Amino acid sequence: MSENEKACCGGPGYASPAEAMKAPREKLLYTVALYTGTGIEKPDYLATVDVDPDSPTYSSVIHRCETPNIGDELHHSGWNACSSCHGDDSKSRRYIILPGVRTSNLNIYDTIDPKNPVLHKVISGDEIKAKTNLSAPHTVHCLGADIIISMLGDADGNAPGGFLHVNEDFEIVGRWENDITGMNYNYDFWYQPRHNMMVSSEWAAPNTFMPGFDLEDVGAGKYGQSVHFWDFEGKKIVKSIDMGAEGMIPLELRGLHDPASNEGLIGVTLSSNIFRWWKTDDGDFEVEKIIDIPTIDVEGFPVPMPSLITDILISMDDKYLYFANWLHGDLRQYDISDIKNPKMTGQVWLGGLLGKAPVVNGVEVQGAPQMIQLSLDGKRLFVTTSLFSTWDNQFYPGMKDKGGQMYIVNCDTENGGMSIEPNFVVDFGNEPNGPSRCHEMRYPGGDVTSDIWM
């Protein structure tokens, strides 16, 4: 691979989080965009967004690359390589993997030309089901040459799912885990080989969450409330912690970026809490609640409305926590320099069911802050508004016909604070084939939710 190709693809990553923070300002952003659930019979696609303020096409989708199939429900994504590969000249962050949650297809795109990704390969969901009895791929993490993907169900859409192992040539190796005893459901995961640990969280069986949200399913125990700590080398769970009523639907997991750290945070969605997890000096694992967002009584809502924390991330220097409250409609920033005692330092409103910011930058917001991605230097927080097609249609029915949006929130990295960038909005309601939704985002050069240092 030439030096130019390595540069285009992000190279083998950065030597440390501190080095990553000094990277050039990002000019492109990839987001999954989907027609699944809109009634428009078109494939979902990878959208390339111009985020360079000096570009004439700033705040625009400049390229679209469709999947070969209709109905994938593109959701999360990940790279074939990340900063865990730093120092290996044979590796580059060139291929981005886009799983289809509904079809279980893995759509792999080549970004050798960053502005014009092209489809490289599709691993059929039917092949994955036949070889591993797994379905509904979610979180993608690289591990050196190979790739691990959390799978939310078995071939029939039942819990608990497991983990898919794919090699660097995008061939199915098989199931990654040796033992999933104790795991009721699956969702996100974060690993740190230096400490021989992995943490995984729980959503629900695909057959439960795909049709939409039913509160009775929570009472029936059909949604998760546990986190699991793994012996990473042994590929088995060593401890599961049931967080009870305070830990209903623990979704996003983020570890601190410092590889010497053995702790991180959990975004608990339905209970609307942030939990801290850590490995003790004697090798045990513990969790504790550090942030609680109160419910709000809203006329017409059947229960006191939770904020519904749907995404969290930690800045590259481990100083700030950001999270999205998808029902209430706000984004929050907390100083976690003292991680046991976080301090709220910023908040902005975008859409939401509380009606505090229905129109932002001249566009009617459909949905609310949902997925977030932070620039490597920590100064620009990108946000999209779609959660999952059936859940969007249930809570924000206007999104089906008007599409989702992407915004930028400027972040004060010295003193704390947030403000909405007034000159940026990408309205996916104006796409060529009709309104679409936008969800998870990635930078060509790496981002704060994909890179893990060893």
Q: What are 244-291's pLDDT values in tens digits?
A: 999 999 999 999 999 999 999 999 999 999 999 999 999 999 999 999
- Where does the pLDDT of residue 87 fall: very low under 50, low under 70, confident under 90, or very high at 90 and above? low
Structure tokens at 260: 């010497």
- Residue 1, pLDDT score: 35
Structure tokens at 364: 């009617």
Upper half-sphere CA count for residue 125 (Cβ side, 13 Å): 24
Look up tokens 């100064």; give the residue: 379
- Residue 361, pLDDT score: 98
Q: What are 369-417's pLDDT values in tens digits?
A: 999 999 999 999 999 999 999 999 999 999 999 999 999 999 999 999 9
- Residue 4, pLDDT score: 32
Look up tokens 């069986």; give the residue: 205
- Where does the pLDDT of residue 11 fall: very low under 50, low under 70, confident under 90, or very high at 90 and above? low
- Residue 294, pLDDT score: 97
Q: From the CA atom positions of the chain, what is the Rg in Å? A: 20
- Residue 267, pLDDT score: 98
- Where does the pLDDT of residue 15 fall: very low under 50, low under 70, confident under 90, or very high at 90 and above? confident
Q: Residue 152: helix, strand or coil by DSSP?
A: strand
DSSP collapsed to 3 states, 292-331: ECCCECCCCCCCCECCCEEEEEECCCCCEEEEEECCCCEE
Q: What are 89-142's pLDDT values in tens digits?
A: 677 889 999 999 999 999 999 999 999 999 999 999 999 999 999 999 999 999
Q: What are 330-361's pLDDT values in tens digits?
A: 999 999 999 999 999 999 999 999 999 999 99
- Residue 453, pLDDT score: 83
All domains in the chain, ordered by first residue = 3-442 (2.130.10.10)
Q: Residue 167: helix, strand or coil by DSSP?
A: coil
DSSP collapsed to 3 states, the chain: CCHHHHHHCCCCCCCCHHHHCCCCCCCEEEEEEECCCCCCCCCCEEEEEECCCCCCCCCEEEEEEECCCCCCCECCCEECCCHHHCCCCCCCCCEEEEEECCCCCEEEEECCCCCCCEEEEEECHHHHHHHHCCEEEEEEEEECCEEEEEEEECCCCCCCCEEEEECCCCCEEEECCCECCCCCCCCCEEEEHHHCEEEECCCECHHHHCCCCCHHHHHCCCECCEEEEEECCCCEEEEEEECHHHHCCEEEEEECCCCCCCEEEEEECCCCEEEEEEECCCCCEEEEEEEECCCECCCCCCCCECCCEEEEEECCCCCEEEEEECCCCEEEEEECCCCCCCEEEEEEECECCCCCECEECCEECCCCCCEEEECCCCCEEEEECCCCHHHHHHHCCCHHHHCCEEEEEEECCCCCCEEECCCCCEEHHHCCCCCCEEEEEECCCCCCCCCCCC
Rounded CA-CA distance 99/72 in Å is: 8
**Average of per-residue pLDDT values in the chain:** 94
